[in-house]
Amino acid sequence: MIKFLNRRLKLGILTQNIEFDAEIKKIEKEIKDKVTKKFAGSLAIRMVDSGSCNACETECNALSNPYYNLERLGIYFVASPRHADVMLISGIMTFNMTPHVKEAYEQIPAPKWIITLGDCPAMESVFEKTYAIQAPISDHLKVTHHIQGCPPSPQTIIQGLLDFLRKI
């Protein structure tokens, strides 16, 4: 335990030590203010994969690593749609997932918003239309904001969340 604490002290706080921090510093305050004002201090996101390659999910998981630590800005990923304000959808909306995505959306209490993540849900990725693909998601549900990228980097996702907060 002592060994671990020692190392912990030596390493310091990573969130404060990255090159991209200067950029995030600027938007950090704005995100925090907006989350406080519009979502009473906590923005709860339910992430749903509608048929991605798992890269977008990996990048969302990376948002919780010590470099990005999204939770310090009051933004949380929650386990149930019933706890969520926002549904973050990745993936190309497969035929088999469509009814489940819609059902999850229905479970979110109003007011609610949809953000699409990555090129797939907007049908802008390299995948072409087949019988099993039902993207773009905007054909099925009302999308408030779209974050581009294949996959969007954690930095892009944070910026995208800020753009969403500015929009509503």
Partner 1 sequence: MRFIARYAKELEKSFEIVTVYENEIQKEKISKENPSIKTLAKKHPCAIWFERKMHDDFGIVIEDAFDARPLVHQERFPKNIHPLRKNFQEKKINEAPYVQYKYEAIKGDGVFQVAVGPIHAGIIEPGHFQFSQAGEEMLHLEVRHFYKNRGIEKMLEGKTLKEAKPIIERISGNESIAYQICWRDIALQASSQELSLSLQKRDAFLLELERIIHHLTDLGFIPNDAGFGTALAYASKLCEDARRKMQEFTGHRFGFGAINFENSYINIIETKEWLKNLHKSISYFKEWIIDIPSLWDRFDTTGKLHIKKAIKYDSVGVVARASGLSIDRRLTPFYLKHDFVMSNEISGDVSARFKLRLAEVFNSLTMMKNFLEEDSSKMKLQAPKDGEYMSFCESSIGELFMAIDIKDSKIERFFVRDPSFVNWQALHLMMYDDIIADFPLINKSCDLSYAGSDL
Query: For residue 4, what are its two tokens?
Result: 């671990």
User: Of 22 and 79, which CB lies nearer to partner 1 in the complex structure?
Assistant: 79
**Whether 135 contacts 122, CB under 8 Å:** yes
Residue 132 touches partner 1, criterion: CB under 8 A:
yes
Strands laid side by side in the 43-49 sheet: 75-77, 43-49, 86-90, 113-117, 145-147
User: Of 35 and 152, which CB lies nearer to partner 1 in the complex structure?
Assistant: 152
Please select the residue that binds partner 1; options are 43, 51, 86, 157, rule is CB under 8 A. 51
User: Of 30 and 107, which CB lies nearer to partner 1 in the complex structure?
Assistant: 107
* Nearest in space to 44 (alpha carbons), one of 115, 99, 141, 137: 115
Residue 106 touches partner 1, criterion: CB under 8 A:
no
Please select the residue that binds partner 1; options are 24, 35, 49, 160, rule is CB under 8 A. 49
Please select the residue that binds partner 1; options are 26, 37, 72, 100, rule is CB under 8 A. 100
> What residues from 17 to 46 belong to the interface with partner 1 (CB under 8 A)?
none
Residue 59 touches partner 1, criterion: CB under 8 A:
yes
Least Å from the CB of residue 136 to partner 1:
13
Task: List interacting residues with partner 1 (CB under 8 A).
Answer: 3-4, 7, 14, 47-62, 64-67, 77, 79-80, 91-92, 94-97, 99-100, 104, 125-133, 150-151, 153
